Amino acid sequence: MMKKCFVLGYPVYVAPLQDFVETLETGLKQGVHQHVVTLNPEMLMRGEAEPAFGDILKSAEIILPDGAGLVWALRRKEKNVQRIPGIEFSEKLIAKAATEGLSIALIGASPEVNQTAQGRLEKLYPGLKVCYAHHGFFTSPEERQQVAKACATSHPNYVFVALGVPGQECWIREFKNLFEQPTAFIGVGGSFDIWSGLKQRANPIFLKLNLEWLYRITTEPFRLKRVYKTLPLFVIKVLLQDNETGPKRKR
């Protein structure tokens, strides 16, 4: 069962990976669209700076503790917190789709990466049905909407959106009501790059130690600037909030 916790006012759910999968499936069977956010400190701090984006994050049906900094913040109060990487959650759903005859849609990345990711996923998961795929290089708002409508009419069970932050979350919020059947929407960031083979995930030892962020910085130095802009402020805010809400000492 998922436990709802809060970090700086943002709801985050704590549970084993399989519990998240089962919760999502239960929601879909009950006829509810499921928006999955793979939250990290950078996204949270952007939500603080941009309230409209923050509202999108807070309103998601499922919020995974993806970033290592988020797990640190949660563990200050909740001991049994596991990091749930969005890519691993997504791959669980893709495997489920392949074995249960469900369909998926892939929205985002470049035309080449999108196409290559689709081909590799179909080989990796025999029986997988990709009912719709389109790159994220939209040339106009009209094309953006046309892609959303075409995706909706293909009736996918899962829609994986790789348009970056906050583009993917905004796309989901804007267009999810076009989908008539209950659908799960997952913002997957750079996962298409991994699925296409363009990039590789960190060595398992990095993953085990929750140091995937360090691997990303060493292989993609441009990320360092973004981390330094957000992570120190996130840590300070968490510490200040914990100090304000912690137990008061008796005089």
Give domain status of residue 13, yes or no.
yes
How many separate domains does the chain show? 2
**How much of the chain exceeds pLDDT 90, in percent?**
78
Domain stops at, among 164, 183, 200: 200
**pLDDT score of 241:** 87
CA distances from 122 to 17, 157, 162, 248 (A): 23, 16, 18, 56
For residues 213 and 191, membership in a common domain is answered with no
Count CA atoms closer than 13 A to 100's CA, side-chain side: 12
* Residue range of the domain that includes 184: 3-200
Give domain status of residue 56, yes or no.
yes
For residues 105 and 194, membership in a common domain is answered with yes
Residue with the bigger pLDDT between 220 and 125: it is 125
Give domain status of residue 250, yes or no.
no
Mean pLDDT of 111-136: 98
For residues 129 and 147, membership in a common domain is answered with yes
For residues 241 and 154, membership in a common domain is answered with no
**pLDDT score of 249:** 40
pLDDT in tens, 215-232: 566 666 666 666 667 888
- Which pTM does this prediction carry? 0.89
pLDDT in tens, 137-155: 999 999 999 999 999 999 9
Give domain status of residue 44, yes or no.
yes
For residues 31 and 133, membership in a common domain is answered with yes
**pLDDT score of 250:** 40
Q: Which residue has the tokens 């409508």?
A: 149
For residues 120 and 218, membership in a common domain is answered with no
Check whether 171 has a pLDDT greater than 60: yes
CA distances from 128 to 46, 119, 155, 192 (A): 35, 10, 15, 16
